[in-house]
Amino acid sequence: MGRAKKVVLAYSGGVDTSVCIPYLKQEWGVEEIITLAADLGQGDELEPIREKALKSGASESLVADVKDIFVKEYAFPAIQANALYENRYPLGTALARPLIAKILVEAAAKYGADAIAHGCTGKGNDQVRFDVSCTALNPNLKILAPAREWGMSREQTIAYGEKCGIPAPVKKSSPFSIDKNLLGRSIEAGTLEDPANEPPEEIYEMTKAIADTPNESEYLEIGFQKGLPTTINGTSKEPVELIEQLNKIVGNHGIGRIDMIENRLVGIKSREIYESPAMIVLINAHRDLESLTLTADVSQYKRGIEETYTKIVYNGLWYSPLKAALDAFIQQTQERVSGVVRLKLFKGNATIVGRWSDNSLYTPDLATYGAEDQFDHKAAEGFIYVWGLPTRIWAQQNK
């Protein structure tokens, strides 16, 4: 008896997921494997990947274009949450996992599979995100993670694949481990494993080196409706198109590179390089618009919510009651976050230089230092008396 009869395997076309196919059959007695590759805008050609799965022994090879859902239901809420893990990483990889889990679970139901499989190792965050998300969506499914148990090095994995007749990689494999989608690229391993090493220029694809960026600055206006980005320079854009265009416009100025040591859920520190041009700029612009349209207390309270939100999304709890509750809070706050943010792009910086909104809470008559000033200065005196009262009493007691 194998560990499962029929399995839906998350498939990328890479070495690990390809080797999973013969491995699951030969070592774990799985009878039938259906592979599922998600098109998240990673730019890979998916037809060769689809065929490779069949050549590797899959009975069915599915490709799902989920770009639109990815942006609308995963990236956009993260922008509304200003989600930057450890203040820097816009969660490009972390947001894709729960969506992949969702389509795996749906495919398992459709094809009558009793298990889900993925090629994640036991060291990363992605295994947690897949396992917990799949379990949340269907607690009856088994989850198989052969790479967590097989104990093969990369060389051994490749050798195992060759022995099983797995076709050579579709494209030449890089010394780096790269995960990419519409929201950006996550790059680790190779020479990057030494945190002291400067990232080589060759790892970047979406962002230009500063030396190659335009010598003229460029203005960019991003329009938001209820916290969702809808326009670029005054022109309406569909969500996927908006992200694609922003990646180009912003990446061209070398904006969106991140080099960080991050704390994984499993306790390991890792050095990761990201390039995420559109998301970085969208989150910064969105946060700025909130500063114009939210009251001080909502804005400040939301910071704590954002931090919790970001952490639980990073830690694989996308489909959790806490996440749903935080979503409700965040949605409520976005009702009036509409307007435009103007940025100046130049040599690796996207500087916010202006913002406006019909819902602006900025009150010129109160803020001005000019003659039009409407603020009742005398009222400040009584306010300060009351505000400072506890401190005054304390000081009198302790003199």
Q: Which is nearer to ligand ARG, 92 or 227 (CB)?
A: 92
Choosing from 59, 177, 299, 360, the catalytic residue is: 177
Helices 46-55, 15-26: inter-axial angle, 10-degree rounding: 20
Which tokens go with 177? 């481990």
177 interacts with ligand ARG by CB under 6 A = yes
CB 317 to ligand ARG: min, Å: 14
Catalytic, 148? Answer no
Residue 275 in contact with ligand ARG, rule: CB under 6 A: no
Residue from 179, 275, 288, 290 that binds ligand ARG (CB under 6 A)? 179
> Strands 339-346 and 218-225, how do they pair?
antiparallel
Active site residue 177: yes
Residues 246-265 within binding reach of ligand ARG (CB under 6 A): 262
Q: Which is nearer to ligand ARG, 280 or 294 (CB)?
A: 280
291 is catalytic: no
Q: Which of 147, 143, 154 is nearest to 23 (CA)?
A: 147
Contacting residue, 186, 247, 310, 338, with ligand ARG by CB under 6 A: 186
- Catalytic choice (97, 257, 271, 287): 97
Return the ∠ at Cα 376 (arms to 370 and 379), rounded to 5°. Answer: 145
The answer to whether 276 contacts ligand ARG (rule: CB under 6 A) is no
> Of residues 12, 56, 61, 126, which has the active-site annotation?
126
**Is the distance from CB of 78 to CB of 104 less than 8 angstroms?**
no
Closest distance between ligand ARG and the C-beta of residue 198, in Å? Answer: 17
Active site residue 16: yes
342 three-state secondary structure: strand
Q: How many residues bind ligand ARG (CB under 6 A)?
A: 11
| CA contacts within 13 A on the Cβ side of 101 | 30
**Segment interacting with ligand ARG, rule: CB under 6 A, options 162-170, 177-185, 210-218, 219-227:** 177-185
Considering only 164, 170, 178, 258, the residue that binds ligand ARG (CB under 6 A) is 178
Residue corresponding to tokens 């990646």? 247
Q: Are 142 and 4 in contact (CB under 8 A)?
A: yes
**Closest distance to ligand ARG from the beta carbon of 256 (Å):** 15
The least CB distance from residue 47 to ligand ARG, in Å, is 23
Chain-centroid distance of CA 171 in Å reads: 25
> Which residues in the 107-126 window bind ligand ARG by CB under 6 A?
125
* Range list of H helices, 92-183: 92-111, 126-137, 154-163
* Distance separating alpha carbons of residues 334 and 355, to the nearest angstrom: 16
Tokens (6 digits) for 287: 């946060």
Residues 182 and 241: their CA atoms lie apart, in Å, by: 10
The contact set with ligand ARG (CB under 6 A) reads 93-94, 125, 177-179, 186-188, 262, 272
Catalytic residues: 16, 97, 126, 177
